[in-house]
């Protein structure tokens, strides 16, 4: 995978790793045969919260109880894990 973008209106999260997707109580990871279908089903869902999990992941929770966990590296000098862009600013997270 080169990269993935998750778009929320004018906001974009640009990912350099596959996020973990939980839907209907089942965890899906990149490379699984149904991964693309599972993540695409979230296109019409509404994000109800954003949280962090012990500096390991950024968690997006949706209105149907599904969630996307974006891994975050703790390494100071590692490659960028993702960037979040709004129309007026940039946030970079390692």
Q: How confident is the model at residue 81 (pLDDT cuts 50, 70, 90)?
A: low
Distance CA 43, CA 5 (A): 12
**When comparing pLDDT for 42 and 16, which is higher?**
42
**Is there a contact between 69 and 22 (Cβ–Cβ < 8 Å)?**
yes
Determine how β-strand 20-23 pairs with β-strand 26-28.
antiparallel
Record the tokens describing residue 94, joined without a space.
């390692």
Give the chain's end-to-end CA distance (angstroms, integer): 19
**Is there a contact between 24 and 39 (Cβ–Cβ < 8 Å)?**
no
Percent of the chain with pLDDT over 90: 33
The per-residue pLDDT for 87 is 60
Q: What is the mean pLDDT of residues 46-66?
A: 87
Record the tokens describing residue 47, joined without a space.
């994000």
pTM value? 0.75
**When comparing pLDDT for 51 and 16, which is higher?**
51
pLDDT, tens only, 14-36: 787 888 999 999 999 988 999 99
Q: How confident is the model at residue 67 (pLDDT cuts 50, 70, 90)?
A: very high
Record the tokens describing residue 90, joined without a space.
């940039």
Coil, strand or helix: which one is 13?
A: strand
């Amino acid at each position: 995978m080169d990269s993935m973008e998750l778009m929320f209106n004018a906001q974009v999260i640009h990912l350099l790793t596959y996020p973990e997707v939980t839907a209907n109580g089942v965890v899906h990871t990149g490379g699984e045969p149904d991964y693309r279908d599972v993540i695409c089903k979230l296109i019409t869902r509404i994000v109800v919260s954003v949280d962090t999990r012990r500096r390991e992941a950024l968690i997006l929770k949706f209105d149907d109880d599904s969630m996307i966990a974006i891994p975050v590296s703790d390494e100071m000098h590692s490659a960028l894990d993702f960037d979040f862009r709004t129309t007026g600013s940039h946030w970079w997270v390692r």
